[in-house]
Amino acid sequence: MTGSIANIKCIAKRELGGYFASPVAYVFIVIFLLLTGFFTFMLGYFFERGEASLTYSFFVWHPWLYLFLVPSVGMRLWSEERRSGTIELLLTMPVSAWQAIVGKFLASWIFLILALLLTFPLVLTVNYLGSPDNAAIFGGYVGSILLAGSYLSVSCMTSALTRNQVVSFILSVVACLFLILAGYPPVTNLLVRWAPRWVVEGVASFSVMPHFDGFQKGVLASSDIIFFLSIIGFSLFTTGVVIRSHRSG
């Protein structure tokens, strides 16, 4: 177990260092912060609302903000390894497939968390302007971190499926868009016309929106946490199946 953790830490450290060794990481963070500010102040009407809250001006946009930004981070995780041929070298090292998958995933997740934590001036601003519910803000950040991890795990899975980063990006965006729209009335109403009710309810249960809404209200429900962790676990498990098929091939 100690050796496994050491391998995961080694891979995660290497991957995380790789992000900041190039200007791409800094460009991503700048774009992320600029878009966050635009959504919060321009589309979320932060000041016009006249309330000390980040729920409807900041967190509510994260499922859509992450829809393109997270796949742009995850699309290279395994596609680049396959394109350059280094995946064969990686898999011949004394590192199991799941250790490599978890290490690379954690590095990217930590990178996304660091970018999210750089939005802390918004927390300071809302506390300066009023008396917000900081428990709800904390819950929103926890939910946002889990949401980003879920999108990233899906991107990790699609990245393992193809050596083309653009294809991986498109597949990831489509999959994450499904996780957003699955529970929306236009989608469920369309399914009701030809599918039985249990199918409609099954599709709607995949939606991330109801589970993310709970975090925005400061409610850290175990069911919502398990939902996001289940997406992460399933996606990484599927990634492992794909990676092991490359090894056996």
- Residue-wise pLDDT for 52-75, tens only, equals 889 889 999 999 999 999 999 998
CA distance 31 to 154: 22
More confident residue, 184 or 241: 241
Q: Give me the mean pLDDT over the 142-146 stretch.
A: 97
At 186-233, the pLDDT tens digits run: 777 777 777 788 777 888 888 999 899 999 988 899 999 999 999 999
Q: Give me the mean pLDDT over the 144-167 stretch.
A: 93
- Mean residue pLDDT across the chain: 88
Structure confidence at residue 118 (pLDDT):
96
Structure confidence at residue 87 (pLDDT):
63
pLDDT band at 171 (very low <50, low <70, confident <90, very high): very high
At 90-141, the pLDDT tens digits run: 666 667 788 889 999 999 999 999 999 999 999 999 999 888 999 999 999 9
Structure confidence at residue 85 (pLDDT):
61
Does 248 score more than 60 pLDDT? no
Does 86 score more than 70 pLDDT? no
